[in-house]
Amino acid sequence: MCSSDLALVINEKGEAVGFGRGGPGNWESIGLDGLTCVLQESVYHALQMAGISPRQISGAGMGLAGYDWPSQRQMILGAIQPLGLDCPLEIVNDSTLGIFAGASAGWGVSVVSGTGCNCRGRGKDMKSEGRMVGGGSHWSGEYAGGGDLVARAMQAVTFEWNQRGPATALSPAFLKLSGAQSLFELVEGVYVGRYEFDARYVFKVFEIAAQGDPQALSVLRWAGRELGEMACGVIRQLGLEKEPVEVVLIGSLYNGHPLMTEFLQETVRAIAPLAQFVRFEHPPVIGAALLGLEQVLGAQAYCLREMVVATTRKIIVE
C-alpha cells in the first residue's frame, strides 16, 4: 500500500484504483510524528481517489526508509497506528520492495545502487530474510552507491597526482567539474572540504568509461563486483545457490554503463549459476501494494503483479 511518500490502493483483481503522494518519509530525518503526517497525507489522497475508508482496506504493506532493524518495529508501528488501518499489516525496509514488485513469485534478491546501495533478500518460504547492514558503507564493507563510485574514481585521480598509478581521463574531467586549476589544487581542495562531489561526477565516470579509459572501466568492474558480492552474501544466507533466484536491480546507476551490471552478473553466477536478473524501474509502491495483497491472498497475490504494474502506470500518468 505505501512506500515512504507514495500510497497505492489496489482491488482484489490487482487493479490500481487510488494513488496518493506525500513528502519525504524517512523517520530518521523527519521524526516519528513527521512519518505519521507523511503517511496520513499520502494514504488520505489514495483512499479519496479510490472512494473508500481506511476500514475497508483488507490488507496493507509498507516499505519504509529508515526501518532497518527488528528492534524498531514497535516504534514504527506506533507511528502508523493513527492511520486507522484495521487489517493485517506488514512493514519492511523500502529496499525490499523491489523483490515484491520485480520478482515473479514474491521471493528473490534486490540490489539497490543509486545515491547509496543496499541488498535484501526473501526466501522461497516467503518468510526468511537475507540482508546486508544497509548504509554502512566503509565500516561494513558495502560499496557501490554513487558516493562510493566517485570516491573510487577520485582515488585513481589521486594516484595519477602522486604517481602511484597511471594517467587517467578522469583527471581532466574532474578538474573541469570542480573548477580546480591543477591536480594539486583538486586533491588539496577535496581534502580540506573546498570541493564536494555531486551526481555530475557519478555520471562523468560512466561517460569517461564509455570512452575506453582503463581507470574508469576499472572503477565500474570494482563496483559490479562489490554489488555482486552483496547479492552473493544474501543468496548464501537464504540457501538459494542452486535455485533460479531472481535478482532485481534497482537504482539509477544501472543506467550508466553495462560493464557494471555485467560484472555484477558474473559475480553472482559464480555461486548461483541459475540466477536471473531483472531490471525494475517502476514505482516501488507497487511492491508495497503487492505486499498488502499478500496479506489477503498469500503467494497468489503475485499472479496479479502484471495487472498491478500496468494499471499503476496508467493511474499515475492520469
Residue 2 has pLDDT above 70, yes or no: no
Residue 3 has pLDDT above 70, yes or no: no
On whether the CB atoms of residues 106 and 290 are closer than 8 A, the answer is yes
**pLDDT value of residue 127:** 94
Phi, psi for 282 (deg, rounded to 5): -85, 165
Residue matched to cell numbers 516501488: 284
Residue matched to cell numbers 535455485: 243
Q: What is the mean pLDDT of the chain?
A: 95
What would the pLDDT profile of 53-77 be if each residue is shown by its tens digit?
999 999 999 999 999 999 999 999 9
**Amino acid found at 217:** L
What would the pLDDT profile of 233-279 be if each residue is shown by its tens digit?
999 999 999 999 999 999 999 999 999 999 999 999 999 999 999 99
- Point out the least confidently predicted range of 113-117, 123-127, 159-163, 274-278: 113-117
**Amino acid found at 128:** S
On whether the CB atoms of residues 2 and 62 are closer than 8 A, the answer is yes
What would the pLDDT profile of 99-121 be if each residue is shown by its tens digit?
999 999 999 999 999 988 999 99
Residue 317: which pLDDT band, with cuts at 50, 70 and 90?
A: low
**pLDDT value of residue 49:** 96
